[in-house]
Structure 1
Amino acid sequence: MLRVSIAQISPDGTKEENADKVEALIRMARGADLIVFPEYSLGARLEHADRLAEPVDGPLIRRLAAAARESGLAVIMGILESAEGGPYNSVVLMANGDAIVAHRKILLFDALGSIESRYVRPGNMPLTLVRLGEFTVGLATCFELRFPEIFRSLAAAGADLFVVPAAWYAGNLKEEQWLVSAASRAMENVAYLVAADSAARAFVGRSLVVNPWGHVELDLGKGERLVAWEISRDAVDEARSALPLIEMANQHMGTWARVRRIY
């Protein structure tokens, strides 16, 4: 069993004010094993990306990692990461007092009128698996939810829980796309999915826990909320025993990797 808290926040203050909010919620979540925050948790104004970016080994992140250690939990949070050559859209993992860059967003949101790559660089590191309790966690960020290949790669490597920090823009059919994408990635990989979305006005909110059958167990709706939820590794085992999709896909991957044209 893993007790997960989802912090659906609106990072509408200064970077320091947003960090204070994050720290307070980490301390409020004591008793959880993991707390998940949205993408851009320290500030979402991409036009100010250079100013909002924070090094993972800097004092602000170290302070949050210390709060996580004192609260006895792990933190997964999306930030703008300061790095030589320009910022990344990164996922930070804090555990045991340490903070590491666990994922850099590879597929930036250059679609539907947005050009994220104008402000941040695409990720340059392999996909990451993290062991938390009984679960093997695979990480992705927001727009990457639209790419099944990322999640199948993580599942084939052993992931049974996906954690997705997000700032999913609102708009025509965007809530429907959010729900369908999240449920599909969970169902087709027979894995849990936890997605923490931003509560700011521009985004859909509706942070989710989706079970291995693609059923939405938790939907946070709108506004700032902190909610805890328990997920069971036994539920993954039972679902994968009945529906061994990953095993079958791994077995036949070489066959459908070849495509022939007959017309």
Structure 2
Amino acid sequence: MRHHGEVKIAVVQTASSDDKAANREAVARLVGEAARDRPDLVVLPEAMMADFAVAGGSVGALAEALDGEFVGVLRKAAAEHGTAIVAGMFERSCDEDRPYNTLLAVGADGELLGAYRKIHLYDAFGYKESDQLTPGDVSPVVVEIGAHKFGLMTCYDLRFPELSRALVDAGAEVLVVPAAWVRGPLKEFHWSTFLTARAIENTCYVAAAAQNGKKYCGLSQIVDPQGVGVAAVGEDDGYATAELSADRLTEVRKRNPSLQNRRFTVTPR
């Protein structure tokens, strides 16, 4: 039994494909496997509904509404296993060729808690995500699961510390980071460094679930407010769990009151 103020999170690592039915089956199976450890939240990767198209391609035809089949599977799995779920999908927008890259949060009762549409699109390292997708509004999205607040951000958002700070200012105790972090020279180093930095500078937990395989680096992990890795998955499919403590968060923020000591106040444009 968990103590008051503790929350258990599972980060799941796998690779999606362009076969949406197979991805839905994988979601049901993976949530069921992670649920054996009785987590309060299961975090699945970015683009779990369907993988990105190749450069020059389109994911428009794959996109769904928030009451579509993919969300239906998330809601059913959450209610069946009694756990909240966060997962990535492509959501229809007003531009049928450029949907949103959306994180959906579902409560343990199967009800929708919130949706975050990726703000920073991956127009870097020779790729241009904005050719396929529409950016979301510049506004932090925080959802409550039990007595805890979780800030939602996606992959490339990690390179913009102002978003994580805005989420923490909005009350987030945990940054939830689904990703499909593309492999490449120094990219894995960047991934782990950013996750650790966002935890340390905001004195908060970070829970990151990444795609793996030939395209993406994997390395899903959970980092505590001092930058200590408390759970990790390597390169293979799997999941890792950790119990996050409100007492640990309070103790770290008392010892390192950097949020209180700020002199600059940054607000989103």
State if a TM-score over 0.5 links the two structures.
yes
Match of 2:14 in 1: 9
Task: Give the TM-score, by structure 1 length.
Answer: 0.91
Identify the match of residue 99 of structure 1 among 112, 122, 128: 112
The CA distance in 2 between the partners of 1:236 and 1:181, in whole Å, is 19
The structure where helix makes up a greater share of residues is 1
Match of 1:66 in 2: 76
* 1:121-132 equivalence runs, <5 A: 121-124=134-137, 126-132=139-145
Match of 2:264 in 1: 253
* 1:1-263 equivalence runs, <5 A: 1-12=6-17, 14-30=19-35, 31-46=38-53, 47-86=57-96, 87-95=99-107, 96-99=109-112, 101-124=114-137, 126-249=139-262, 252-253=263-264
- Does the CA contact (< 8 Å) of 1:160 and 1:191 recur in 2? yes
The CA distance in 1 between the partners of 2:120 and 2:80, in whole Å, is 34
Letter in 2 for 1:27: G
The CA distance in 2 between the partners of 1:245 and 1:93, in whole Å, is 29
Q: Per-residue deviation at 1:27?
A: 2.1
Task: Give the TM-score, by structure 2 length.
Answer: 0.89
* Between 47-56 and 237-246, the greater mean CA deviation after superposition: 47-56
What's the % identity of the aligned pairs? Answer: 34
Q: Give the gaps of 5 or more residues in structure 1.
A: 258-263
The CA distance in 1 between the partners of 2:101 and 2:140, in whole Å, is 14
Q: Give the gaps of 5 or more residues in structure 2.
A: 1-5
The CA distance in 2 between the partners of 1:73 and 1:131, in whole Å, is 13
The CA distance in 1 between the partners of 2:202 and 2:117, in whole Å, is 22
Segments ≥4 residues shifted beyond 4 Å: none
> Relative to structure 1, is the Cα distance of residues 181 and 165 closer, same or farther in structure 2, using a 3 angstrom cutoff?
same
Letter in 2 for 1:225: G
Q: Per-residue deviation at 1:24?
A: 1.4
The CA distance in 1 between the partners of 2:25 and 2:18, in whole Å, is 10
SS at match of 1:246: coil
Q: Per-residue deviation at 1:125?
A: 5.6
- Does the CA contact (< 8 Å) of 1:196 and 1:208 recur in 2? yes
- Does the CA contact (< 8 Å) of 2:113 and 2:143 recur in 1? no
Q: 1:159-207 CA distances to partner (integer Å, 9 max, x unpaired)?
A: 1110000000010000110011110000000000001110231111000
- Does the CA contact (< 8 Å) of 1:90 and 1:101 recur in 2? no
Q: Per-residue deviation at 1:135?
A: 2.2
The CA distance in 2 between the partners of 1:143 and 1:59, in whole Å, is 26
- Does the CA contact (< 8 Å) of 2:40 and 2:83 recur in 1? yes
RMSD: 1.7
SS at match of 1:245: coil
The CA distance in 1 between the partners of 2:208 and 2:118, in whole Å, is 15
The CA distance in 1 between the partners of 2:50 and 2:25, in whole Å, is 12
The CA distance in 2 between the partners of 1:93 and 1:216, in whole Å, is 24
The CA distance in 1 between the partners of 2:88 and 2:118, in whole Å, is 10
